[in-house]
A and B are shown apart, each in its own frame.
Chain A
């Protein structure tokens, strides 16, 4: 915690409070009998100007005796003792000033008057101390609350960052195992295709790792990755898997979080096409319109397919990432119309600024 800064702000607050305190002291000195307004005023201002003798050390005594974690008797003892010492110090300093002022002709005898009022001034000092203490306790509590809030926010930001990193690093191992098995089959059937598949897989992995490190990517880059992914899955599923793209040219320059669409397309294959004996079609439609980017991933599926345990997790992650990046300005909708499973995203269309 920034101790120095906090003390500085206390000092500033005291400067503001000094004027009313000076007036109050002048009033107290003048009222009962006889000290001239001039004398009372000068003395009041003098005492107020050294008031920090009380208020600033009070801040330390508050810190060494935090109100929630100190026993009541210790709290009382600490502050009673601090009040005594500080007020006496303040009184002593005030007295020296009064002595000095007495040399001024207009203020002759002010030291004697001061001594007469010593008890009153002492009492006022104790009251100031108590006011200062309560003020400090309130600000300390506020500081603690603020610090707690900041820390909570930092933790949640860190957690989100971690989640995103994990998400970006995530390459479905089963996709790899199945692809490797396909390559293994191709080595004897069609070695050239096996090599192509190795290259595709290598490209896909490199793109995934590369994109994952960025905060935003152009849609064209993500599309490249999706096409590689689909090419690999097409080798695996053969004629069972087809893909249709309807990509508007303007949409390709739009920026979006990396690997946002990959899990959607992967889901379409894994939970959609893989569950159909005859296979089916995955459709990707993307367009930019009225400042928004609209993305549709649609696939045929078997509504009665045996549920798979990881279902829904990918969608949830995409939703969380959209929320983290765009808040309420982006949406994800799922529509299951008979034998079609549709996921539509809508997000603000951002483009790279021209250098």
Chain B
């Protein structure tokens, strides 16, 4: 018996269907050590509730309005064990890939539910990779990001990739520039680059990725380096390797 089994648990139930939440709540009644801290009907509420209640177990539906379960995972990180709940077995497979503690398929059976709970208890405290890396694994192969999710405190912003002007590396974060605003997201620039369509976004510099649509012209700047001028007048440094990539892409487009 691990010592964690003696403590009290705070669980969060996230599902957009009231009846689906009810099933989980009912199954939890026979586990006296678990309190339901909150129930959320969508991903936005879930992100807020995680910050507010600091739960140590989350039941997370995959298909929800606005934010999917995978988006929520990306935003809240993996300090909290997550059990995905879904009617779609292909999502269940992906949930497994993202090292979710376990997944439950609807309709949920009590035995399976109890087993998942046991698993969550034994896996508590295991170090898991950061949320955005998991989210990248969860993305189906050969499919690029369609939008970026950013969290500022408990406020969640969705940025369609077409509206991303450029991204700038800032230590452990990337600053996403869109429509004159910048949003900070905990992710490496290489990680972001991997999720973006290479035909639309170019790594022009060690610290910069630019949306090709925004580039108006390239100007020389000092020895061996250049500047990219964007539609809104922003000037971004272009390294020699970055220029080669940019040129190759533009030639390809002709």
CA distance A178 to B62 in the complex (A): 13
Q: Which of A180, A185, A240, A275 has the most chain B CB within a 10 Å cutoff?
A: A185
Residues on the B chain within 8 Å of A183, using CB: 107
**Complex: chain B residue closest to A178, CB-CB:** B87
Distance between Cα atoms of A149 and B10 in the complex (Å): 70
> Within 8 Å of chain B (Cβ to Cβ): is A182?
yes
Q: Judge whether B186 is part of the interface by a CB distance below 8 angstroms.
A: no
- Convert B6-49 into 0s and 1s, putting 1 for each residue whose CB lies closer than 8 angstroms to a CB of A: 00000000001111101100100000000000000110100000
The answer to whether A277 and B158 touch across the interface, beta carbons within 8 angstroms, is: no
Set B23, B26, B140: member contacting A181, Cβ < 8 A: B23
Residue B68 interfacial (CB < 8 Å):
yes
- Contact residues, B131-185 vs A (CB, 8 A): 140, 146-147, 158, 160
Residues of chain A within 8 A (CB-CB) of B20 are: 178, 181-182, 185
**B42 proximity list for chain A (CB < 8 A):** 277
Which residues of A sit under 8 angstroms from B146, Cβ to Cβ?
306-307
A304–B41 Cα distance when bound, in Å, is: 18
The yes or no answer to A156 lying at the interface (CB within 8 A) is no
A238 CB within 8 Å of chain B: yes
Q: Is A174 an interface residue (CB 8 A)?
A: yes
Chain B min CB distance to A277 (Å): 5
User: What is the minimal beta-carbon distance from B166 to any residue of chain A, in angstroms?
Assistant: 21
Contact check, A181 vs B107: say whether CB atoms are below 8 A apart.
yes
Q: Is B207 an interface residue (CB 8 A)?
A: no
Knowing A238-B18, A304-B160, A306-B68, say if A181 contacts B44 (CB, 8 Å): no
For the complex, give the distance between the alpha carbons of A309 and B142 in Å: 13
**Is B221 an interface residue when CB atoms closer than 8 A count as contact?**
no
> By DSSP majority rule, is chain B's interface helix, strand, loop, or mixed?
loop
Chain A residue nearest to B63 (CB atoms) is: A274
Chain A residues in 8 Å Cβ range of B65: 274-277, 302, 305
Q: Which B residues lie within 8 Å of A321 (CB)?
A: none
Q: Contacts A177-B87, A180-B107; is A236 near B19 (CB within 8 Å)?
A: yes
Contact A185 B23 (CB under 8 A): yes
B contact residues around A185 at 8 Å (CB): 19-20, 22-23, 26
Residues of A within 8 A of B160 (CB): 304
A189 within 8 A of B: yes
Within 8 A of B (CB), among A266-295: 274-277
Contact A184 B66 (CB under 8 A): no
Q: What string of 1s and 0s marks CB contacts (under 8 Å) between A153-196 and chain B?
A: 00000000000000000000010011011111110110000000
Cβ of A237 within 8 Å of any chain B Cβ, yes or no, is: yes
Q: Do B22 and A189 have beta carbons less than 8 Å apart?
A: yes
CA distance A186 to B17 in the complex (A): 13
Is A93 part of the contact surface with B, judged by Cβ < 8 Å?
A: no
Q: Which residues of chain B are near A140, meaning CB under 8 Å?
A: none
Contact A177-B105, Cβ < 8 Å, known A274-B65, A302-B65: yes
**Residues of chain A at interface, number, CB under 8 A:** 27
Q: Does A235 contact B (CB under 8 A)?
A: yes
Known: A189-B22, A277-B42. A181 touches B66 (CB 8 A): no
Does chain A have a CB within 8 A of B54?
Answer: no
Docked-complex contact B23 and A184, CB < 8 angstroms? yes
Does chain A have a CB within 8 A of B108?
yes
Cβ-defined contact, A181 with B18, below 8 A: no
Contacts of B44 in A (CB 8 A): 277
Task: Give Cα distance in the complex from A292 to B108, angstroms.
Answer: 47
B88 — which chain A residues lie within 8 A by C-beta?
174
Q: Find B107's partner among A184, A277, A307 (CB 8 Å cutoff).
A: A184
Point out the residues of chain B lying under 8 angstroms from A174, CB to CB: 87-88
Q: Which residues of A contact B19 (CB under 8 A)?
A: 181-182, 185-186, 189, 235-236, 238
Q: List chain B residues, Cβ under 8 A from A186.
A: 19
A204→B229 CA distance, assembly (Å): 60
Give the distance in Å from the alpha carbon of A325 to the alpha carbon of B154 in the complex. Answer: 53
B53 in contact (CB, < 8 A): no
Tell me how far the C-beta of A200 lies from the nearest C-beta in chain B, rounded to whole angstroms.
14
Q: B247 an interface residue at 8 Å Cβ cutoff?
A: no
Q: Is B112 an interface residue (CB 8 A)?
A: no
Known: A181-B106, A184-B107. A277 touches B41 (CB 8 A): yes
- Chain A residues closer than 8 Å to B66, beta-carbon distance: 275, 277, 302, 305-306
A188, A240, A275, A277 — most chain B CB neighbours (10 Å): A277
Chain B residue, CB-CB nearest to A176: B87
Task: Give A189-216 as 1s and 0s: 1 = Cβ < 8 Å from B's Cβ atoms.
Answer: 1000000000000000000000000000
Assembly CA distance A185 to B16 (angstroms) = 14
Bound CA span A236–B21, Å:
11
Instruction: Determine how close the nearest CB of chain B comes to the CB of A34; give it in whole angstroms.
Output: 85
| Cβ-neighbour of B108 out of A184, A276, A304, A309 (below 8 A) | A184
Q: How far is the CB of B1 from chain A (nearest CB, A)?
A: 31
Contacts of A274 on B, CB cut-off 8 Å? 16, 63, 65
Q: How far is the CA of A207 from the CA of B44 in the complex (A)?
A: 39
Known: A178-B87, A181-B108. 9 other contacts (CB 8 A): A177-B107, A180-B107, A181-B23, A181-B107, A189-B19, A274-B65, A276-B65, A304-B158, A305-B65
CB-based closest 3 A-B pairs: A185-B19, A177-B87, A181-B106
For this complex, 19 residue pairs linking A to B, each with C-beta atoms less than 8 Å apart, are A177-B87, A181-B23, A181-B87, A182-B20, A184-B108, A185-B26, A188-B26, A189-B19, A236-B19, A237-B17, A238-B17, A238-B19, A275-B66, A277-B44, A277-B66, A306-B67, A306-B71, A307-B146, A309-B140
